[in-house]
Structure 1
Amino acid sequence: MNPDVLTFGIEEEFFVVDRRGHLSQAGDDVVDAAEAAADDAEGELQHELNRSQAETATDVCRTHAEALRQLGGLREGLARAARTRGYRLLAAGAPPLSQVDPPRITPNPRYQRMAEHFGATAWTSLTCGCHVHVAIPDKESGIRVLGRVRPWLPALLTITANSAIADGYDTGYASWRYHQWSRWPSAGPPPQFASLDEYESIVDGWLRSGAILDRGMIYWDVRLSEKQPTLEFRISDVAATPAEAVLLAVLARALVATALADDAPPPKLSNEVLRGRLWRASREGVTGCCPHPRSGDLEPVKVVLDDLIALTAPALEAAGDLDFAREGTARLTAEGGGADRQRRAFAERRRGEDVVDLVAGDS
């Protein structure tokens, strides 16, 4: 492995549901039980905003094989802890079944403050995402990279789109989670920043207005991480499978590496146009069409992802990811992703419970 290859990490959020598939209040208990049983397992388990959720985070990774191993182990540990307590773990961007009562907020002072300040936005934020961290030299470099990766955000969104069925019906979107999450005032695509100072001035304005309570609530689709020297991609649903999560991660890493090596000015793309492209990508998913980052014209997602791989091929090859990325995107665009599998499970009987059974994978 080339020592200059950028490191990365992956965070995943999951729902903890009862046997029928309704959200439970057991997320904290399942996380604690999985931690107690983990011994020296790789990665980390974390509590989330709602008590129906659990979160995992890999250690710093260098190879896709390493990330696959860690994600598989973390998911299995959580799923085992859930099963032993009569619950199930769902890797879905939104709950497949409707909920009579919203789950309670995790008893954490920060989360409680968020719930009091943001009201229903906080306690009805029933979404699960996948966050990819990619190492950057410094924040100034991160701002330059951010401007270059913005046009590719719609393509990245399609890769793990995994929330077509929500509240017991077909939403008409491959990623319904993306729309639900966009209710937060700090969510959505980041603007084109001229400098780090401009980035900080917007964050300061949010803090002054109360649109965010702290810097951890900067929810742009891609942002400078507040805790690690990384660029954090937050665009995606939690992936249906570890392999799809790692495909997203290696493409994000390759985009960052390619952008770091590019001295050309970033392409001009207004946030209004980018929002429209993201809407289309969230609707279509990986088997549909997506605006091409270069032309803005609709193209099959397969074409867009093939062009993304062509653009980032030197970085993918240097990291040992080129074959993995080619094979993964070919399989995904041919067979469909999480949203497509949800729809196939839902189609026969129009029952959200069938989607729960598919996603839980334990019955």
Structure 2
Amino acid sequence: MSEQLTFGVEEEFFVVDRRGRLSRHAAALVDAADEHEGELQTELNRSQAELATGVCQTHQELLGQLNDLRTGLATAGQRRGLRVVPSGAALVAESDPPGITPNPRYQRMADHFGAVAEQVTTCGCHVHIGIPDKEAGVRVINHVRPWLPLLLALTANSPIEAGADTGYASWRYRQWTQWPSAGPPPRFSSHDHYQSIVDGCLASGAILDRAMVYWDIRLSDAHPTVEFRVSDVAATAQEAVLLAVLIRALTHAALNATTPAPELSNEILRARLWRASRDGFTGHCPHPLHGDAVPTHVLVSDLLLDLAPILRENGDYDFACEQAALLAVRGGGADRQRQTLEHSGQAEDVVSMLAVGYVDNRATMDAPRSRR
């Protein structure tokens, strides 16, 4: 086993009023939140706030930072009558969208990309894993590409937009891919190949800078990491950490792989990602090896078994198994959103259920049935 890989997480949130409508005051929460390890920052839309943990070694450290940062944002919001909501899509219909954060880069993006910048308002979760060098990062991308659908299904948390069920567990992913650089990355032959594609995107105007490479996995320009961007913001900090420990173990396995990365076309991978975005955790997900759709919870169990030696070495195995078992009972974020909407018929109740600080005591309820 090589040295344990470091990791960190970025999460985006909607800042909403008491009725769940998007607020223009996310920046005020970022400025007013108490200081914690990690950082808080604004995002493209004025209704969004983002947290970023520091570099972490253990899942306990990562969970502690996520909880502290989430609580700091939520507390700042409570003082202003606002809520912080971890949902991939905006839950309540908006008659007066909050608009773009006043920032020169964001304004340039809005001018260049038009309605995409204004209308694609989504919240995701980004997991950074420390890597030895960029060539190693390219190897990780190539090996882990087939697992992207499962990573999406695991945290799918955006079935509802503007008060209606979209029919997708992750509507965020369907929206997000309107950006010209979003979606799965191709299989690269080298880091030079990676850079040549980024250069071509820049030359075409499909991206304005390297930070706009929105692939589901990319090399970070600012940090010595590979960044996984496929997932919705997780409904809970524990679910975000489950995602992170699985990604860290997959990265470790990729760095130590002795066989070539799988040959998988982007066309087929996009089709598999579509299925994962529709079904989410309690549906079916294409198997990364043969592509046949299998129950997502079965695929998660198989992955835990395959990665068990790495997870145990990292001290993550028991935590990962406990969180996966809890998901099997409660369902994923998308399932819980749907259950709440079906029960009350009000998107505002989904906002209340998701808002940071909400405690769900229904862990013993029956597991939700597959919707497919």
Q: TM-score band (shorter)?
A: over 0.9
CA distance in 2, matches of 1:324, 1:281: 24
Deviations 1:95-148 (A, max 9, x none): 111111222211111111001101111111210000000011100011111110
Q: 1:52 Cα shift?
A: 0.3
* TM-score, normalisation: structure 2: 0.94
State the match for 1:11 in structure 2: 10
CA distance in 2, matches of 1:161, 1:145: 23
Structure 1 residue identity aligned to 2:251: V
State the match for 1:280 in structure 2: 275
State the match for 1:298 in structure 2: 293
CA distance in 2, matches of 1:310, 1:134: 21
CA distance in 1, matches of 2:214, 2:274: 17
CA distance in 2, matches of 1:3, 1:252: 16
1:83 correspondence with 2:78 = yes
CA distance in 2, matches of 1:3, 1:44: 29
CA distance in 1, matches of 2:3, 2:134: 18
State the match for 1:111 in structure 2: 106
1:137 correspondence with 2:159 = no
State the match for 2:342 in structure 1: 347
Contact 1:92–1:240 (8 Å) recurs in 2? yes
Identity %: 62
Deviations 1:192-232 (A, max 9, x none): 11111111111111100100000000000000011111010
CA RMSD, Structure 1 to Structure 2 (Å) = 1.2
Tell me the secondary structure at the aligned position of residue 348 of structure 1.
Answer: helix
Deviations 1:241-289 (A, max 9, x none): 0000000000000000011111210111110110111111111111111
CA distance in 2, matches of 1:162, 1:179: 12
Contact 2:150–2:285 (8 Å) recurs in 1? yes
Q: 1:361 Cα shift?
A: 5.4
CA distance in 2, matches of 1:361, 1:229: 31
Structure 2 residue identity aligned to 1:57: A
CA distance in 2, matches of 1:261, 1:312: 13
1:219 correspondence with 2:214 = yes
CA distance in 2, matches of 1:244, 1:49: 25
Deviations 1:163-187 (A, max 9, x none): 0111110111111000110100000
Q: 1:349 Cα shift?
A: 3.1
Q: 1:334 Cα shift?
A: 2.9
CA distance in 1, matches of 2:302, 2:138: 24
1:181 correspondence with 2:180 = no
Residue in structure 2 matching 1:235, options 230, 234, 259? 230
State the match for 1:318 in structure 2: 313
State the match for 2:32 in structure 1: 33
Contact 1:302–1:330 (8 Å) recurs in 2? no
CA distance in 1, matches of 2:76, 2:340: 26
After TM superposition, which residue ranges in structure 1, 4 or more long, deviate above 2 angstroms?
none
Residue in structure 2 matching 1:99, options 94, 100, 107? 94
Tell me the secondary structure at the aligned position of residue 5 of structure 1.
Answer: coil
Q: 1:82 Cα shift?
A: 0.7
182 and 100 in structure 1: CA distance in 2 versus 1, 3 angstrom threshold: same
Q: 1:3 Cα shift?
A: 8.4
State the match for 2:23 in structure 1: 24
Deviations 1:68-92 (A, max 9, x none): 1100000000001011011111111
Contact 1:8–1:60 (8 Å) recurs in 2? yes
Contact 2:71–2:356 (8 Å) recurs in 1? no
State the match for 2:248 in structure 1: 253
Structure 2 residue identity aligned to 1:208: A
Q: 1:306 Cα shift?
A: 1.5
Contact 1:17–1:24 (8 Å) recurs in 2? yes
Q: 1:311 Cα shift?
A: 2.2
Unaligned 5+ runs, structure 2: 359-372
CA distance in 1, matches of 2:268, 2:179: 20
Structure 2 residue identity aligned to 1:27: A
State the match for 2:65 in structure 1: 70
